[in-house]
Structure 1
Amino acid sequence: MDILLTGRSGFVGQNLMATLEPSKYTFKTLSLRNHNWKAKVPVNTCEVYMHLAGIAHDISNKNDENIYEEVNYELTKELYNVFLEDKKAKSFIFFSSIKALADLPEQLLTEDLKPNPKTVYGKSKLKAENYILDNLPSDKTVIILRPCMIHGPENKGNLNLLLKAVSYHIPWVFGSFDNKRSYCSIDNLCFIIDRILSTPSVKSGIYHIADDESISTNKLIRIIAKTLGKRSVRLNIPKPILLNIAKLGDKLKLPVNSQVLNKITGTYEVSNLKIKQELGIKKLPLSTEEGLRNTVQYYTHD
């Protein structure tokens, strides 16, 4: 199977190319950075378009809002239009984000919920999703994937802050928060992509990608400490005090603010039931704890 891949230099792209069986899949990569990228599309050559390229969420808000619009929406729209005209291409897989659905969820995130993103990143991803859904072809398969926080060796992502805190024996001051968060190991993600590519009957639509279990940040700290061979110190500072400190951080533009506090202590549970049912999967290869341990173990050797 020939796959046209954008975003090959990213963490997910690199892992997919390294993991998927070469005897089954041949990747033809395409960079969208150049204005003349359309001239380089191998039209009528690839059965699958896999679109990973995009600008990632920027918590510091340093990126201009127009960049999100241009990269996450406009380029996606243009590539999708090329796909629609490509006679050989039968499947389009778009890597969106769970942030296209919600930033501060109050319930388990399933595919049937009404999207309400707050950030420019989430809004740009949702706009791309809507364009695709408004132009679904009857003779092709179009799959929109919304992964939650992806992690793995060489890409600690938002785990980096917690890893450093435990490494340097910094007390965990957020013990009073009882939350649940979903994560997605790169191994489970690659497994799901392989199953999608080898299952022609997959229906067009939106699918959430996450590990099977969600865990509390307190448990995550314990996993990190145990894997690093460190002792974690947990402090149960009252929530009101920490929330007020975060609000002060919002006003003074400090590193610790409400957005950072929510990333660390907020509940963010994502259901992966729909994609597992569609692919006939009962259980993903790695448990949440196994995947997180793999990421932390890489950190110890890095």
Structure 2
Amino acid sequence: MKGPQVLVTGATGFVGEAVVFRLLLDKKFAPVAAVRASSRLSGLCRVVPFDLDLPIGMPVLEEGGVVVHCAARVHVMNEAAADSLAEFRKANVEGTVRLARRAAESGVKRFIFISSIKVNGESTVRNVPFKATDLPAPVDPYGVSKHEAEVALWQISQETGMEVVVIRPPLVYGPGVKANFLSMMRWLDRGVPLPLGAIDNRRSLVALGNLTDLVVTCIDNPAAAGQVFLVSDGEDLSTSQLLRRMAFALGKIARLLPVPARLLSVVASMIGASGVAERLCSSLQVDIQHTREVLGWHPPVSTERALRQAADHYRDKEAR
């Protein structure tokens, strides 16, 4: 007999869908996929409609069940909204609060919130990683909205007794990754020369398999209740190292030009791409010792294996 119902929001997204597939594979829980539109999960598990932006149509939740809340308004390229923060708050704060209160009223035991390392901040001093106990210091509207959602969830937990678990991942990569990581794979695959050979920063990443493993661990581990967990692969890479290792996984050679980071920043500022340069050149490291100690958890997927999985999926898609 399967364990409690686990409702996963954002189940058509990169992380949410992977969580559902992992739950189906484990066969330990009864996953329910909450989605805005059609999903390839139909027929594999129960699928229910859910829209984070709408105050109506909250899914029916099972007493004693668990919610894994992955749905969110994420980074928007070419933001058109006059008040970006207001739009992020509408979905990521107000929508999360509606769902959490509905969950508490329904007798849901645990609410797992997929937040973001941006709650801690945008960058770290090299080899001085973020910790779960650090004071939040979000900068951009997305990070601010995730922090505000966390604060609201702790309040709801205090009022209702529903257990809350917060997970703050850095950049997530793996099979099917999109956005900047996908662009990077395309550049490497096509042999595009990149002026990033002299970048000596340190960045923490988390493989999709490692993040989903932590999420599943948090579903029924008693020690997870009331905790904030940072997560990564446990191995930090410079931008140059990441590019070389990703190229190797693709069977290519990274063509990296040793342009000084300071010159890159100047040029990027001149063309209005200072934000991109900051992410490529700065460090962002996370300390997962707290996660390891509290849960007895370790990342099961190595960086090498995860990069290979992402590369294999990319090649399969490109071959079609």
1:78 maps onto 2:98 in alignment: yes
C-alpha distance in 2, partners of 1:76/1:132? 8
Q: Which residue of 1 aligns with 2:37?
A: none
Q: CA shift at 1:116, angstroms?
A: 1.4
Q: Within 2, Cα distance between the matches of 1:35 and 1:85?
A: 16
User: Is the 1:3–1:46 Cα contact (8 Å) retained in structure 2?
Assistant: no
- Normalising to structure 1: TM-score of the pair? 0.90
Structure 1 CA distance, aligned partners of 2:230 and 2:73?
19
Q: Could you tell me how far 1:156 is from its partner in structure 2?
A: 3.8
Say if 2:132 and 2:230, in contact at 8 Å, map to a contact too: yes
| Residues 73 and 125, structure 1, Cα contact 8 Å, conserved in 2 | yes
Q: In structure 1, what is the Cα distance between the partners aligned to 2:179 and 2:310?
A: 10
AA at the equivalent of 1:293: R
* Cα distance in structure 1, aligned partners of 2:62 and 2:225: 23
Which one of the candidate residues 57, 72, 77 is aligned to 1:54?
A: 72
Q: CA deviation at 1:147?
A: 0.9
Which of the numbers 3, 7, 14 marks the counterpart of 1:4?
Answer: 7
Q: Counterpart in 2 of 1:112?
A: 133
- Please identify, of 132-141 and 189-198, the stretch whose mean Cα deviation from structure 2 is larger: 132-141
Contact 2:167 2:229 in 1 (8 A): yes
Aligned equivalents of 1:259 and 1:158: distance in 2?
13
Give the CA RMSD over aligned residues. 1.9
Matched, 1:36 2:56: yes
**Given the alignment of the two structures, is residue 301 of structure 1 paired with residue 316 of structure 2, yes or no?**
yes
Q: How many residues align?
A: 292
In the alignment, does 2:150 pair up with 1:129?
yes
**Mapped contact 1:93–1:143 kept (Cα < 8 A):** yes
1:1-302 equivalent positions in 2, closer than 5 A:
1-20=4-23, 21=25, 23-30=27-34, 31-33=50-52, 34-38=54-58, 41-63=59-81, 64-65=83-84, 66-87=86-107, 89-106=108-125, 107-137=128-158, 139-250=161-272, 257-281=273-297, 283-302=298-317
Give 1:125 shift: 0.6
Structure 1's 168 and 258: CA in aligned 2 closer, same or farther, altered over 3 A?
Answer: same
Amino acid across the alignment from 1:145? I
Quote the Cα distance in structure 2 between the aligned partners of 1:43 and 1:298: 34
Measure the CA separation in 2 of the matches of 1:175 and 1:83.
Answer: 49
After superposition, the C-alpha distances for 1:185-230 in whole angstroms (9 at most, x for unaligned) are: 1111121122222323323121112111111111111112212222
TM-score (normalised: structure 2) = 0.85
Q: How far apart in 2 are the matches of 1:229 and 1:248?
A: 34
2:116 and 2:178 map into 1 onto residues whose CA distance is 17
Does the residue aligned with 2:157 lie in a helix, a strand or coil?
A: coil
| Counterpart position of 2:44 | none
| Cα separation, partners in 2 of 1:122 and 1:59, compared to 1, 3 Å | farther
Aligned equivalents of 1:284 and 1:22: distance in 2? 17
Query: Structure 1 stretches of 5 or more lacking a match?
Result: 251-256
SS at match of 1:125: helix
Distance 2:282 2:19 in 1: 30
Report the CA distance shift for 1:161/1:23 in structure 2 as closer, same or farther (over 3 A): closer
The answer (yes or no) to whether the contact 1:223–1:293 under 8 Å persists in 2 is no
Which deviations, in whole Å up to 9, do the C-alpha atoms of 1:43-94 show, x marking residues without a partner? Answer: 444511221111112354345512211000101111112222223x111111
Q: Is the alpha carbon distance of 1:167 and 1:29 closer, same or farther for their aligned partners in structure 2, counting shifts above 3 Å? A: closer
Q: Relative to 1, partners in 2 of residues 1:205 and 1:198: Cα closer, same or farther, differing over 3 Å?
A: closer
Question: Could you tell me how far apart the structure 2 residues matched to 1:28 and 1:240 are?
Answer: 49
Contact 2:70 2:114 (8 Å CA) reproduced: yes
Deviations 1:2-40 (A, max 9, x none): 1122111111111111112463111233402544223xx
Q: Runs in 1 of length 4+ with deviation above 4 angstroms? A: none
